[in-house]
Each structure stands twice: as C-alpha cells, then as structure tokens.
Amino acid sequence: MHKINIDIDGLIVPVRMLYNEAPITCQRLLETLPFKDKFTHAIWSGLMIHTNIHPKLELDVSKYPLIENPVGFIAPGDVFVWPHNGLIGIAYGSTEFRWLTGPLVVTKIGVIENGIEDFASKAGRMMWKGATSITIQKGKVMPTPVNIKSTKFGKLVTIDFDGVKFIAELFEDKTSDYCNALWEALPLEGPTTITHSSGEVLHFWVNIPVPEKAPKEIQSIVPVQYEGKKVGVTSVAYDPLSMRGQHPGDIIWGSTWNGIRIVYGQGRFGGLGGSVSVSNRPKLGRIIQGSLEEFKKSASRIPHDGSKRMTISRFNG
C-alpha cells in the first residue's frame, strides 16, 4: 500500500492514505503525483493550509454531500480534498472547512503519521510568511499500520465498552481538577447512549462530583513571535491537548448534565446554540490504545440496538 510524502520547506512528513475509506479519491490523487503548488493559509477554516492551483481529480459530486469519507470536523494532521475542484487541504490544528456561506463537507484521504509538531510550526508561520511551495509525491510501499500510540501525558484508565477494552490517558496538566474528580470516582460503570444534538458523541451516564475549584475558562494561551520578538498571544495554535477541537477518542466532561462524553466520529459536544462554547468544555483525555474504528463500529450500533454498558477503571498495567 502506498503512502504519500509532503515536502514543506525541506521538511518531509509521511501521510498514511485512507484507501479503504476513500479509494477513488486516493487513486485519482496518486495518478496526479508528483504535484507541486504554492499553498496559502486558510482565511475561513481555521488551522489549515491549501492549494491554489488544484490537481484535476474529476470526482463525481452529483450526490454531494454524499461523497467518499465525508468529514466536517478535521483534526491536526488530516489531509483532505474538496471534491468539487480538487483543492487539497492539510490541517495542522483543529479545522472546520468553511466558506462565507458556512461549513462544507470534504473527503478525508490521509493522516500525517509523524512530524506533525514540526509541520504545524512551518504551516503556522505561513500566516506571516505568505505562500509556500509544497510538493506532494508518492512514498514507499508500506504495510497497513496497526494502532499508533501517542505520548503519555497523565494517568491511564481502561475503558471496557461492549466487551472490548481501550486505554485512555488523562490530561492532568490541562484539566487537573476535572481529571482528579474522575480519577477519584473510579471505577465507574453505567449505560451509554447517543447524544441527541451533538452528532457522533456518546453519553456515559455516571455521576461524578463537580470539583469545587475547577476553572470556568479552559483556554491555552500561546505567545506569538515575529522576527524574534514577542508581538502578542493567541488561543488558536497547534496543541495536541487543545480544548478547542473535539475529535474521535476525546473524553469530555459533561458539566451540569453529569457523566462524560466520548467522541467516536464526526461530532461536537456543546457550543451549538448553547451558552457554553466548545472550547470551554473541559477535555479530560483521549483514547490512545485500541482501534478507534472498532470503537466507532460499536457506538454506531446504539441508535439501532439501544444503550450499551461501559466501565472505566484505573489502568493496572
């Protein structure tokens, strides 16, 4: 199975292609490689860069938005195509592909396997530097990868869902009060249901005492430098623990509704017409071991089969 390599200013990052999810789009793109263009930074969609002279993929959009592997919420490292004109986008932070009319659905075709931190640094500088030449070319043949582990940031918990176990890390350095409240309440067992207004997000119905001193605002403030000098700060920057984005595997505090939420696909908990924005929803952690595809498969059956049991306990190694 091929992968592709993205070369930005001499930094080459490998991309795992999602052939099973988007076979036609992946094949059409491969046929155009190598491809080179001056990418620019998005002005509507968040932390992403995109082509300006797009490859001619000639994709069928007659049934849009029913396209291959449709996504609206895009995670750091995701590579995607706007099927109408072949635009290639690469996200280096939480992204939602938009135009002035609102959000649009795109086809996710790949994921940057490693080097996302360095890629994000170069892509983020394009807001100041301007257009940058990027080359996309075929990589070596590779086997289908197994689970990719992330760096451990905090305590580990075991999630037993529908008879399958997953390991998650807690974001103690970001939301210590909430993480401690969850940790002290373990083990927890209860039913999981869908969430009626948040998309592909599970509701784990358990009672966790609300921490008394937990902060109301949960934002990452990052210093911004230009030509070696600090010019200000921003809350919109690449951060693997960011509260701003919600992506598959993320575990989120349920606030006044108690319990917790776990994202298993395209979904957002909070912020849709409510008084609390998504970026202020405390994110407790994320699943780092176990197949997210398998987790989604079980979660997606709940609307048909009804609630499923879940247990979260402290990881014993």
Return phi, psi of residue 180, to 5°: -65, -40
Q: For residues 38 and 133, is the Cβ–Cβ distance under 8 A? A: yes
Is 304 within the bounds of a domain? yes
What letter would DSSP give residue 294?
A: H
- The DSSP bridge pattern shows strands 35-41 and 11-17 to be unpaired
Which residue, 45, 136, 51, 42, is CA-closest to 87?
51
Indicate the range of 53-62, 176-185, 246-255, 273-282 predicted with least confidence: 273-282
Say which CATH number the domain at 251 has.
2.40.100.20
Domain boundary among the residues 83, 108, 141 is at 141
Domain that holds residue 61: 2-141
Is 149 within the bounds of a domain? no
Domain boundary among the residues 141, 168, 187 is at 141
In the predicted structure, residue 11 carries a pLDDT above the cut 90: yes
Q: Rounded to two decimals, what is the model's pTM?
A: 0.85
Domain boundary among the residues 141, 168, 196 is at 141
Measured distance CA(209)–CA(211) in Å, rounded = 6
Beta-strand ranges (E) seen in 113-217 are 132-141, 156-161, 164-170, 188-194, 199-204
Q: How confident is the model at residue 280 (pLDDT cuts 50, 70, 90)?
A: low
pLDDT tens by residue, 103-141: 999 999 999 988 999 999 999 999 999 999 999 999 875
Q: How confident is the model at residue 189 (pLDDT cuts 50, 70, 90)?
A: very high
Residue type, 224: V
pLDDT at 254: 83
Measured distance CA(159)–CA(175) in Å, rounded = 19
Is 296 within the bounds of a domain? yes
Q: Same domain, yes or no, for 162 and 124?
A: no
Q: Same domain, yes or no, for 121 and 193?
A: no
pLDDT tens by residue, 155-178: 999 999 999 999 999 998 888 888
Query: How many folded domains does the chain comprise?
Result: 2
Q: Same domain, yes or no, for 176 and 104?
A: no
